[in-house]
Each structure stands twice: as structure tokens, then as C-alpha cells.
Amino acid sequence: MSSTTRIVTCIVCPEGCKVSVSTDGDTITAVSGHGCRRGLGYARQEAVAPMRTLTTSVRVSGGVLSLVSVKTSAPVPRERLLDIMTCVRRCCLSAPVSQGQVVLTNVLELGVDLVATRSVERGSPATVHEPPHGG
Ligand code: SF4
């Protein structure tokens, strides 16, 4: 295996340290440039198996809003985000929806749930009234 080095920008805190991570295949051989241990862990994870929290929205029928915002209950492998979005697009909830409600359980058997991050009451989507013409 050949050794490669990449720069990971740490997003754990606003410092945004540029962390250099060297790997040989799947083995991390050197890490430098991190300002703290949390950043060391983040950069190591990011270099070999990046994880992301997915935030998106799911359709709602019979509610005052036609979409509800959702997110995964924990970070998921970045390479699975598109697969999760395929599941999300097939999903439609019936109002009412409660904040914190589990929308999908154990998504793709990744051990995380998709959870609503706001509530949607039962009703009709608000209509936009046009101002009267003339004048
Ligand atoms: S390495 Fe530590 S100090 Fe630097 S951005 Fe990450 S969390 Fe912040």
C-alpha cells in the first residue's frame, strides 16, 4: 500500500484547525496540526470513515405544512446519505406530527432513527392572499 496524506478541516469548534492525516491503506500512520484531543478523534474518523448527521424534510399530508424537518438521531456514514434520501423520498406522514417523533426507525439498519425536529398540526396549508388590485 502507498502512503497518502490529506488535510482535514476540523469542524468540532470554530477554530477550524487544519489537521494533517497520513494513512497507509486503512491504517492511520500520523496525525498533526490538531489543537486538541476532540479534533484528533474527528480527523481520524474523517480520514477513514466520514460520518454526517442528515438533515432534510419529509412530506406531510393533512397538515398546516406540507413538509416537516427531520434529522438523523446520530451521525451516519457519509457514503450512505443518498441511500437514506431514497427512503426519505418514499416517506409521507399524516398530520399531526410531534417534535421528536420517530419518522423512520433504525434507518437501513444503521442503528439510528430519523426524527422530526418540529411539530405540524392537523389542518390545511395556509393560503397566500393577494392584495387587492387598483389604487
Ligand atoms: S482540533 Fe480542537 S481546537 Fe482545533 S478545531 Fe478541532 S476541536 Fe477546535
Residue ranges of the chain that CATH labels 3.10.530.10:
55-116
CA of residue 114 to ligand 1 center, whole Å: 28
Distance between alpha carbon 10 and the CA centroid of its chain, in Å?
17
Check residue 102 and give its pLDDT: 98
Contact residues for 102 (Cβ-Cβ < 8 A; gap 6+): 113, 114, 115
CA of residue 17 to ligand 1 center, whole Å: 5
Whether ligand 1 lies within 6 angstroms of the CB of 39 is answered as yes
Q: Please state the atom number of ligand 1 nearest to the C-alpha of residue 34.
A: 1
Whether ligand 1 lies within 6 angstroms of the CB of 13 is answered as yes
Please list the rounded mean pLDDT of every run of 10 residues in the chain (135 residues).
89 96 93 97 93 97 97 96 96 97 97 98 75 58
Query: Residue 48, CB half-sphere, CA atoms under 13 Å: how many?
Result: 15
Check residue 45 and give its pLDDT: 93
Check residue 3 and give its pLDDT: 87
Which class is 55-116 in CATH?
alpha beta
